[in-house]
Structure 1
């Protein structure tokens, strides 16, 4: 029965979310370094490799695991009251975080192709997005407003 595994699923869900968040925090910072070195004598090849591996080896699997494990948690009978506001706030935060992840993936591809439309300063500002989303999600789950 799924409810017998609830705490294990929850533990692995938390680990996956931590790994995903680490990538969401770090990838925009790599983009800052990448953009600020573009056009200079400093090579950006290493940054391109780091960006690609971070996204494909850590962030994508962690996001998928977070979603799968989160959906398993929600499917446990009685685990979530869908009439509560916090559930919907958390869902908005998760969907926004997933959208941000997809935006980062697109930006990585653009940077790898040699183009970008965002400045280092803008990437620095975008680096705050996952923090704001994390605050919304954690407060929603813990305070349950």
Structure 2
């Protein structure tokens, strides 16, 4: 029963983390397009609160619940290569999360050098990760 509770909280954490991963780069798009000081300052606050208040705790919770599930069910490591591929993608996704944090700091210091088109493409990265990770977990292709 504990395992099912962990799985439920793991999924909830993932949903919250991805909500932030989808929304923060979208805020970067609008921030890069803003031309007045009031708008830029408002985006800085929104970005900081989203990153620190939602994304970071959700990422930590995702990792804690996922690790706990693996500790309770170590047989998953021998159930095929799908888990190894998923974990590798999660590591890269953590890197993307930290790239978002680094970009947030650039915006906070008014040092952004990229345009809104870059962030429109940057915003699509977590979609690709979500697609592949969900397919790996549900279909377990290998």
Matching of residue 139 in structure 1 with residue 142 in structure 2: no
- Kindly tell me the number of residue pairs found equivalent between the two proteins: 141
Give the counterpart of 1:74 among 70, 73, 79.
70
Cα pair distance change 1:41/1:50, threshold 3 Å = closer
2:52 counterpart residue number? 56
Deviation at 1:136, TM superposition (A): 1.0
Aligned partner of residue 60 in structure 1, secondary structure: helix
Q: Which residue of 1 aligns with 2:90?
A: 94
1:119 aligns with 2:115: yes
2:19 pairs with 1:22: yes
Distance in 2, matches of 1:78 and 1:44, equals: 47
Query: 2-side partners of 1:66 and 1:98: how far apart?
Result: 11
Q: Please give the alpha-carbon distance, in whole angstroms, between the structure 1 residues aligned to 2:114 and 2:70.
A: 37
Q: Deviation at 1:104?
A: 0.1
Whether 1:33 and 2:38 are equivalent positions in the alignment is no
How far off its partner does 1:118 sit?
Answer: 2.1
Using the size of structure 1 for normalisation, the TM-score is 0.92
Tell me, which stretches of 5 or more residues in structure 1 are unaligned?
Answer: none
The TM-score with structure 2 as length reference comes to 0.93
Q: Does 1:130 align with 2:135?
A: no
Query: Following superposition, which runs of at least 4 residues in structure 1 exceed 4 angstroms of deviation?
Result: none
Gaps of 5+ in 2: none
